[in-house]
Amino acid sequence: MREKQQLSAEFPTVRPRRLRSTPAMRRLVAETRLHPAELILPAFVREGITEPKPITSMPGVVQHTRDTLRRAAVEAAEAGLGGIMLFGVPEVQDAVGSEGTNPDGILQQAIRDVVAEVGDQLIVMSDLCLDEYTDHGHCGVLAADGSVDNDATLERYAEMAVVQADAGVHLVGPSGMMDGQIGVVRRALDEAGHQDTGILAYTAKYASAFFGPFREAVGSSLKGDRKAYQQDPANARESLRELELDVAEGADLVMVKPAMAYLDVLRQIADASPVPVSAYQVSGEYAMVEAAAANGWVDRERMIMETLTSIRRAGAEQILTYWAVEAAGMLR
């Protein structure tokens, strides 16, 4: 009886506002905290340029030269970030994405540069996908009918994994949503003696309009869409299936992407995953806030921290965000 009375206590005895009353009280009871070590900076490096090139649709983000990338990596390490995710933008694209498997391709050079510079302070990661390297812009090689050939693409991914690991990357990030990609990459790495190179699997990746600005960032020539391999935004259940498969195939960490429009998926994956769960706050999420802030419509810094806190609260243990360095600064 007594217990019941306590449970049903109400106003004026109960006043939830007591716990919101001062900054010190709010700090004491905050359930979710952000830390620089769980932030990962995605960074683009472009072959053949001598000055960093601004990405119009992502104000504040650039395509780096090898030199400025090195400096950005040092800055990321000094900010206390957990990692950096590298994307290569090659000069030449072709049907099979040859530069992706060239040991001296731009991404492989960048991996070597960054690992040499800050490899003991930062986890260095690399995008393992063909869309930056193909002239048609798809994440794999094409079959005669123009569709993306899953199994032929897996052979390319296996080769990419090995050249990236040879360059010294700590975690490869297969992001093409081909069936079987994690298992094939794991096997290829192991056979090449890279059993210590890990896999951050893009596990639940949706065919999303939020990737729009990224196309400019990597100079992608994609026409059409990726709906035949990336997931339908209407579905959550298949994310759990993808999780099961990726973990069984050897994923060391799994990722949900985009983040903010998929917080329900993130929560479900976080509840079910036996391995760490990351989320990618993608280019369109960044662009949206920057554009609104540039118009004076929102408070930019509060918006950045609120979005990151929400992603963390929904269950992400690591967050890839273009604001990583700035956010780490705000957390000091």
Quick note: the x/- pattern for ligand PBG over 134-163, rule CB under 6 A, is: -----x------------------------
Q: Does 290 participate in binding ligand PBG (rule CB under 6 A)?
A: no
Q: Select the residue interacting with ligand PBG from 231, 283, 318, 321 (CB under 6 A).
A: 283
How many Cα atoms occupy the beta-carbon half-sphere of 140 within 13 Å? 26
Q: Does 131 participate in binding ligand PBG (rule CB under 6 A)?
A: yes
How many residues comprise the chain? 332
Q: Select the residue interacting with ligand PBG from 99, 113, 127, 249 (CB under 6 A).
A: 127
Q: Do the Cβ atoms of 268 and 243 come closer than 8 Å?
A: no
Q: How far is the CB of 16 from ligand PBG (least distance, A)?
A: 38
Q: Does 323 participate in binding ligand PBG (rule CB under 6 A)?
A: no
One-letter amino acid for residue 151 of the chain: D
Q: How far is the CB of 260 from ligand PBG (least distance, A)?
A: 12
Q: Cα-atom radius of gyration of the chain, to the nearest Å?
A: 21
Quick note: the x/- pattern for ligand PBG over 193-222, rule CB under 6 A, is: ------------------x--x--------
Looking at 4, 53, 205, 223, which residue is catalytic?
205
For 102-109, the CB contacts below 8 A with 24+ separation are 102/163, 103/163, 103/166, 103/167, 105/47, 105/133, 105/163, 106/45, 106/46, 106/47, 106/66, 107/45, 107/132, 107/164, 107/167, 108/163, 108/164, 108/166, 108/167, 109/66, 109/167
Q: Which is nearer to ligand PBG, 193 or 224 (CB)?
A: 224
Q: How far is the CB of 142 from ligand PBG (least distance, A)?
A: 16
Residues linked to residue 127 through DSSP beta bridges, in sequence order: 173
The residues near 11 (Cβ < 8 Å, ≥ 6 apart) are none
**Count residues contacting ligand PBG (CB under 6 A)?**
10
What are the residues binding ligand PBG (CB under 6 A)?
127, 129, 131, 139, 175, 211, 214, 226, 282-283
